[in-house]
Amino acid sequence: MRPARSAHAVLGDFTTRPRVLVIAAIAVVVSTAGVIAGLLLLDLIRLVTNLAYFGRFSVAMPDLAQSSLGLWAVLIPVVGALIVGLMARYGSDKIRGHGIPEAIEAILLGRSRLDAKVAILKPLSSAIAIGSGGPFGAEGPIIMTGGAIGSLIAQALPVSDSERKTLLVAGATAGMTTVFGTPIAAIMLAVELLLFEWTPRSFIPVAVAAIIAEVERTALHMPSPLFPFHGEMAVSLTALVAWIGIGIAGGLLSALLTQLVYACEDGFLKLPIHWMWWPAIGGVVIGIGGLIEPHALGVGYDNIGRMLEGHGIASVAIVLLVVKAIIWAVALGSGTSGGILAPLLIMGGAMGVVLSGIGILPAAPAGFWALIAMAATMGGTMRSPLTATFFAAELTGNTHVLLPLIAACSSAHIVTVLLMKRSILTEKIARRGYHIVREYRVDPFALARVMDVMTPNVETVPASMTLHDAIRFLTDAERKHPSFPVLDAERKVIGIIDPPTLLKWRRDGKHRHTTLTELVQGTTIPVAYPDEYLDSVVDRLLQANAAHLVVVSRQDNTLAGYVGWRDLMSAKIKLRQEENDRASFLHRKNGG
């Protein structure tokens, strides 16, 4: 028998195959469809807003503060929310919510399958909700819509579940890029939130989708960056303390907003009416909030622009922050349709304006602290610090603020991680009975080798043993294992014996004096190699439906040991014990 190739000759850094190029090509089509859907959604939102508040058929950007409806404006969000409730009840309840949790749920629990209803009703319901004054962004709905488009295209093609997930995320990434012109942040969102893996087979198609979306939106002369900002702050210890401080404030605001949203949702759950009517109740709160602060309604991109230009006033910003937070939390809790990114930017920016306005932050260019607070609030609430960092840099076209951004976003991230078990995105999924772990680690089976866990001293039987002697050997009360390797004179493994195998030979009429050499001749046994990694051994055990594998030398196939499920589990137990030892060491140090 020719010696098996060594582990380093077989294994590589990645398991990706050339098929990734096919999926990347499909991602180009998905991206283009996502861009078209994004553009249609943005136009549809503006159209609904113009019709509802100004009575004109136009897709021009409206200013809700200029509406002359007066008190009648309170009814518009109510009517819009009522329509959304009816669409959810009689169309698809998957259009409820802000999009990203639904996309995560489809990826993890629904084999990345979304139906055509979602692709049609999600943008339509979001346009009605936002256009009628809902305090949401367009990014969540377009992420869901782009994901639905990617899923539908994938379902029409012969692709695997994993590839369908990749195309779903590619569509979502293209949608986010279309709305904001932030391809790198969209890719980071995919990595931190949607893919649940870090492999070239998923990363490459998603990156292709984001890049194509940016190229296409640029060809259509869409603005980029969306909110130009050129200010920067010199690096110093004082500046670092301030960056961390505003990050902590952003984390605390994130925790407060998350709790507020789900407190509102709990309140709606107690109402003795069908959930279809909840958005209309939320619409009443939105309408009243719009009377107090009209700029709190709609997507509010103009608010972001004003704050980054340094036109924010602390007294006005605090009213915007409070009103926006209340109507946004109530509206989301009611189950209507809309995104969270733009509202988080507005509320975080308003907090930054307030903190800088009252003089507790060092001097900086106008709009600087609003930008840092926007990113910190977004990163803390979504628990995606890298996404928030690159999102803010791309949104403003300013790479000089990357250091303060990552300092603030990391600070906000650690605050929310320590204060809350789940984020605003995963809490909704948890309430449906599912738990998501967002800590991605290398599988210990991919790091440990067979030689690290195998049993080296193995009891064997000689190939010259007869069937009769083998039966007596296995039925001896001293035997502690059910299977044993059969070795020839050179200690090479030629087979395995166990009770089912011996019983089969007896039933087949094999003579009791037949040697094991004759009985195992021509049989193939699954083996493992000492330098092999455990992840491949797990697959082989499952395929062979076996509890143990013999371990043989790659050079001459001589016996080296035995490896079984219990040995494999010891690798994970060892890793867990190391984590516990580190934790107990820190505990002892702190206690001391």
Name the residue ranges covered by the structural domains of the chain: 19-219, 237-430, 444-570
Residue 186's closest CA among 341, 415, 41, 20? Answer: 341
CA distances from 202 to 103, 153, 195, 208, 243 (A): 16, 16, 7, 10, 34
Confirm whether 19-219 and 237-430 share one CATH topology.
yes
CA distances from 87 to 92, 96, 148, 160, 575 (A): 7, 9, 17, 32, 50
What pLDDT does 580 receive? 58
Which fold would CATH assign to domain 237-430? Answer: Clc chloride channel (1.10.3080)
Q: Is 364 helix (H, G, I), strand (E, B) or coil?
A: coil
Write out pLDDT tens, residues 81-123. 899 999 888 888 777 776 677 777 777 766 777 777 777 888 8
Which fold would CATH assign to domain 19-219? Answer: Clc chloride channel (1.10.3080)
Which backbone phi and psi does 591 adopt, to 5 degrees? -70, -30
Is omega for the bond preceding 225 within 30 degrees of 0, making it cis? yes
Residue 424's closest CA among 525, 315, 540, 340? Answer: 340
Q: Residues 6 or more apart from 115 whose CB is under 8 A from it? A: 92, 148, 152
| Domain 444-570, CATH homologous superfamily name and number | CBS-domain (3.10.580.10)
CA distances from 427 to 108, 237, 382, 431 (A): 15, 37, 11, 6
What pLDDT does 187 receive? 95
Contact by Cβ (8 Å): 191, 198: yes
Residues of the chain short of pLDDT 70, as ranges, are: 1-12, 98-99, 109-110, 441-442, 575-592
Per DSSP, 137 falls in state B
Beta strands 559-564; 527-528: pairing state: unpaired
Which backbone phi and psi does 230 adopt, to 5 degrees? -115, 5
The alpha-helical segments, DSSP class H, found in 181-232 are 183-189, 200-219
Per DSSP, 558 falls in state B
What pLDDT does 123 receive? 82
What pLDDT does 440 receive? 72
Alpha carbons 428 and 269: distance in angstroms, whole number: 13
Contact by Cβ (8 Å): 370, 238: no
3-state SS record for 421-481: CCCCCHHHHHCCCCCCCCCCCCCHHHCCEHHHHCECCCCCEECCCEHHHHHHHHHCCCCCC
For residue 192 the two structure tokens come to 């931190």
